[in-house]
């Protein structure tokens, strides 16, 4: 089961109390205060782990409390510190404060750690308060409570390429052909109920990751269909592929489908509409009205977008499409690297 949004409660461990004690050794005249300090409470750390791809393990385990510090003891023995607790989440998880909705951290790198709740301070024992004028203090300090916080975790998949389009546009079939992913494929709307990731092998140890997003329909950004829930998974992608069914079996106009999806992306996040895009006409093996293909090609040409014609069922044009995606991703990476160098040079 794919879960990309959960609420959890985290609490640092309470600090241990100090203690009031006095020495009673046989050969120590007058003894003196010997109460030790309490131990510090454990912290809660949230860590990005690339071996995870869902928040399912947290859905039924929402409470995370670190170990508390032990109380101090006599003979100036301090209490043991509480052990920290680690909460593992997938890479790409965003952490929000539940009540205010404030973004606290975006864990986008494998191994990245964030201190979610700090443990409480240990209390001082009475030996800590001994002075030249107060040689036998009969009081100690209690430990403080650990921090407590309610968090909303939301997962945004990390992928290089995002596939968008109407239901049954051929997104799942394409990702199953060009990668080892095996999503459910059927001839009814909303077959894809959750995002699927596929790794495309280009050879020579070169790969890129493709995300198949559940189909979009008009009004998706307002909650129609499944789009509003999963649109955020393409916000991190470098390149968008608009898959448009040009066969007459859809009963819709290809250009209208393309423009509808484009409007939904614009309404959800204007930056998505500015993302590099490729228009892909799908199901060429079922094309029975050539004018449907030509009208979509004309629309892509008018917008200056690359246009490809494929049939995932017969592998027609899929290799050429993958090669073009690889070239475009290389260009985007080089552009990003150039921008980073410019920023470094300006900083120097």
DSSP 14-30: PPPP----B---TTSTT
- Give the domain-ending residue among 101, 131, 155: 155
Residue 86 has a pLDDT of: 95
Average pLDDT, the chain: 84
Tell me what the mean pLDDT of segment 201-220 comes to. Answer: 74
**Range with lowest mean pLDDT among 38-47, 122-131, 243-252:** 243-252
Residue 230 has a pLDDT of: 65
Residue 186 has a pLDDT of: 47
Are 105 and 205 within one domain? no
- Give the domain-ending residue among 131, 155, 179: 155
Distance CA 23, CA 18 (A): 16
The residue range of the domain holding 108 is 5-155
Residue pointed to by tokens 């200056």: 304
In the structure encoding, which two tokens stand for residue 308, read together? 């490809």
Are 331 and 252 within one domain? yes
**Is it the case that residue 152 has pLDDT exceeding 90?**
yes
Distance CA 242, CA 263 (A): 12
Residue 221 has a pLDDT of: 45
Cβ(5)–Cβ(154) below 8 Å? yes
Are 129 and 189 within one domain? no
Tell me what the mean pLDDT of segment 135-160 comes to. Answer: 89
Residue 114 has a pLDDT of: 95
**Is it the case that residue 9 has pLDDT exceeding 80?**
yes
Residue 227 has a pLDDT of: 52
Distance CA 74, CA 230 (A): 58
* Residue of higher predicted confidence among 250 and 346: 250
Q: What is the DSSP letter of 285?
A: G
Tell me what the mean pLDDT of segment 83-92 comes to. Answer: 92
**Is it the case that residue 112 has pLDDT exceeding 80?**
yes
> Residue 279 belongs to a domain with what CATH number?
3.40.50.300
Residue 341 has a pLDDT of: 59
Are 252 and 302 within one domain? yes
Are 62 and 112 within one domain? yes
Rounded to 5°, the CA angle 249-255-259 comes to 120
pLDDT grade for 320, boundaries at 50, 70 and 90 = very high
> Residue 29 belongs to a domain with what CATH number?
2.70.210.12
Distance CA 241, CA 210 (A): 10
Helices (H), the chain: 56-59, 171-178, 227-230, 254-268, 270-273, 290-302, 318-347
């Amino acid at each position: 089961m794919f879960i990309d949004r959960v609420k959890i409660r985290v609490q640092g461990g309470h600090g241990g109390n100090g203690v009031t004690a006095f020495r009673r050794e046989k050969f120590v005249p007058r003894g003196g205060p010997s109460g030790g300090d309490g131990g510090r409470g454990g912290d809660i750390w949230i860590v990005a782990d690339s071996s995870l791809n869902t928040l399912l393990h947290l859905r039924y385990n929402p409470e995370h409390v670190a170990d508390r510090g032990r109380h101090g003891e006599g003979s100036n023995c301090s209490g043991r510190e509480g052990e920290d607790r680690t909460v593992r989440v997938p890479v790409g998880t965003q952490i929000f404060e539940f009540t205010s909705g404030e973004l606290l951290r975006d864990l986008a790198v494998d191994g990245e750690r964030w201190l979610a709740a700090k443990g409480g301070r240990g209390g001082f024992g009475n030996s800590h308060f001994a002075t030249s004028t107060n040689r036998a203090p009969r009081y100690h300090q209690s430990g403080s409570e650990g921090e407590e916080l309610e968090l909303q975790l939301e997962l945004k998949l990390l992928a290089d390429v995002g596939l968008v389009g109407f239901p049954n546009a051929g997104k799942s079939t394409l990702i199953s052909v060009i990668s080892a992913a095996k999503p459910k494929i059927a001839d009814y709307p909303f077959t894809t109920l959750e995002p699927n990731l596929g790794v495309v092998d280009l050879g020579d140890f070169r790969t890129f990751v493709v995300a198949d997003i559940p189909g979009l329909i008009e009004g998706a950004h307002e909650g129609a269909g499944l789009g509003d829930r999963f649109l955020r998974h393409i916000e991190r992608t470098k390149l968008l592929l608009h898959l448009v069914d040009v066969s007459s079996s859809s009963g819709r106009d290809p250009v209208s489908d393309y423009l509808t999806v484009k409007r939904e992306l614009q309404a959800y996040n204007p930056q998505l509409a500015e993302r590099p895009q490729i228009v892909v006409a799908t199901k060429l093996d079922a094309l029975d009205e050539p004018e449907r293909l030509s009208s979509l090609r004309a629309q892509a040409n008018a917008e200056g977008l690359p246009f490809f014609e494929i049939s995932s069922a017969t592998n027609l044009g899929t290799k050429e499409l993958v090669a073009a995606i690889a070239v475009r991703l290389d260009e985007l990476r080089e552009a990003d690297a150039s921008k980073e160098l410019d920023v470094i040079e300006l900083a120097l």
